[in-house]
Amino acid sequence: MKAGMNTITLEQIRVDRETLRQRWYREGYFTDQTFTQRLIDGSRRHADVPLIFANADGALETTVGAVQCEAMQLAGALQARGLAAGDAVVIQMPTTRETLVLYQAALLIGAVIVPVIAAYGSAELGFILNQSRARALMLPDRWRNIDFTARLSQTAMPPSLEHVIVLGTTAPAGAVTYEQLKRDERAFTASHISADSVCALIYTSGTSGVPKGVKHTHNTLLIDWQCPLYAPRGAFLNVWPAGHVGGLYYLLRPVLLGVPQVFMDQWNAGLALQLIERYRVTDCGGTPFFLMSLLAAHEAAGGSAPLPTYFAMGGASVTPEHVKLAEAHGMRSCRGYGMSEQPTVTWAPYDAPLEKRAATDGCATPHNEVRLVDETGVDVPQGSEGEIVVRGPEQFIGYTDESLDVESFLPGGWFKSGDLGRIDADGYVVVTGRKKDLIIRGGENISAREIEDLMMQMPGVVEVAVVGAPDMAYGERVCAFVVLHDATAELCLSAVRAHFQSAGVAKQKTPERLECVADLPRNAAGKVLKRELRERLQLPTTR
């Protein structure tokens, strides 16, 4: 076995984790405070902070204090039904006022919240319910075109599940509605729980297609709100879905930090533009998809409507062109990098030079550490590409399936992100791609991210996603799915070849298949679903 090869065991991972836990206490990152205390204290300090929940039917205006009052009442109702500290509560809800109430109520009693994105069907939901040993499930009866109650009949329910709570008027046999639960007025009693106990189980997509349960404690989540990214900069428009880790963070941000927020239950760029003007939104963020569609709506509306002052990007492939485009429209922009396992690893401050904000994903946030390693776990030379490994007090404490930990950690508590990157001389990180987001052409690895960045430099290109097209001779060839600014415009391979030749990159990196599409398939968080693009591809034809 090569020197430096990862031979870590579960026992060593546990020892490393305990050593780091004690370090985070010594350095003041961890405390004995839990969400119960922080939510109660925050709601008192920020009781009058406005919250707006908007959708195509209108906007509901409320305050942090009003939501917290209902959350306390609901917490008592949950306790009256036998739910207690440590119980897993699965919440598959859109971003609504009731969702925030449910999150807070579950956290107040010390339960483990399990956010689930609305797009997950019966198979994924059944897996999560069973693996988490959920005691309660909360979901709407219907939302948009999804009949959630119909899904229940197709979902494998675990023996542990005792309570189903439905937001709406239609509840299946044995379930209760949210309104019925609210009428069960019982006093809430705070439980004595440790700040090191698990409070959230966040499921993220696995490479095998099976969701991975990411365990976070009160301490690992609460420390992250100290990141400058979440500091108040005026009213914020939240576009992250509630089941996403970003959605969870921004749902709880108003009560913890006192930030006025406008929430959308589903992205609609035209509506977003109206909300920005009506509620004087100065801060926003999301994936490049949200930026590009917002700018398209802005242009369609005549270009006179106000735009946010700040727009942070992350969660998908962000290029320098995206940041520069936001800046050209008067929005101070930057890039950041994180994951469910360690949500805010890097961030480029808004006062950093444009070159750093556009071309890098920022520096490690104050409490995080970042290294780059090779296949054997050894640090790569300065300026070289390597796998990004991270450590810090916001790091999760392991997967629900512990067998996944062994392949995910290096000695010392370093988490292997699976992402590739470089670090410049100033400590700024540039994420260059995924280890597994590669096109293998004739045995040579080609980074999809590198091709996407080059394609985004071409005039008229709004979005691009690069995948490998199956090929009899080479195994795979580079295929680029491209969205153009003008739907009637054309882009040909000869123009792409000329662009790549002028960029001076290796010939084999030039796309050999081009698919111009009206839109790219994506999940609710705006992340492009490359799996669906690969499924579209057949053997390449001459174009």
Tell me what pLDDT residue 472 has: 67
Q: Categorize the per-residue pLDDT at 112 as very low, low, confident or very high, splitting at 50, 70 and 90.
A: very high
Tell me what pLDDT residue 227 has: 87
116 and 128 Cβ atoms separated by less than 8 Å: yes
> What span, in angstroms and rounded, lies between the C-alpha atoms of 530 and 83?
40
Q: Is the pLDDT of residue 78 over 80?
A: yes
Q: What is the pLDDT of residues 338-363, one digit of tens each?
A: 999 999 999 999 999 999 999 999 99
The model's pTM is 0.84
Considering the chain, what percentage of its residues have pLDDT values greater than 90?
69
Lowest mean pLDDT across 3-7, 109-113, 191-195, 452-456 = 3-7
Tell me what pLDDT residue 538 has: 63
> What span, in angstroms and rounded, lies between the C-alpha atoms of 508 and 495?
16
Tell me what pLDDT residue 540 has: 42
What tokens does 365 get?
């946030």
Nearest-CA neighbor of 193 among 316, 80, 109, 117? 109
Q: Of 313-322, 381-390, 505-514, which one has max mean pLDDT? A: 381-390
Lowest mean pLDDT across 109-118, 207-216, 268-277 = 207-216
How does 135-173 read in b/e, with b if 16+ C-beta sit within 10 Å?
bbbbbbbbbeebebbebbeebeebeebebbbbbbeebee
Angle of helix 35-45 versus helix 97-108 axis, rounded to 10: 130
Q: Is the pLDDT of residue 114 over 60?
A: yes
Give the CA distances from residue 235 to residues 129, 247, 310, in Å, rounded to whole numbers and listed in that order: 36, 16, 11
What tokens does 522 get?
């994506």
Q: Is the pLDDT of residue 516 over 70?
A: yes
SS3 at position 493: helix
Q: Categorize the per-residue pLDDT at 541 as very low, low, confident or very high, splitting at 50, 70 and 90.
A: very low
> What span, in angstroms and rounded, lies between the C-alpha atoms of 415 and 6?
12
- What's the sign of the alpha-carbon dihedral 397, 403, 405, 406? positive
How many C-beta neighbours within 10 Å does residue 393 have? 22
Over the chain, what is the mean pLDDT? 91
Q: What is the pLDDT of residues 2-54, one digit of tens each?
A: 334 457 999 999 999 999 999 999 999 999 999 999 999 999 999 999 999 99
Q: Is the pLDDT of residue 221 over 60?
A: yes
Single-letter residue type at 396: F
Q: Is the pLDDT of residue 375 over 80?
A: yes
Q: What is the mean pLDDT of residues 373-381?
A: 94
> What span, in angstroms and rounded, lies between the C-alpha atoms of 143 and 118?
9
Q: Categorize the per-residue pLDDT at 175 as very low, low, confident or very high, splitting at 50, 70 and 90.
A: very high
The residues, any chain, with a CB within 8 Å of residue 170's CB and separated by 6 or more, are 141, 142, 149
Q: What is the mean pLDDT of residues 166-187?
A: 90
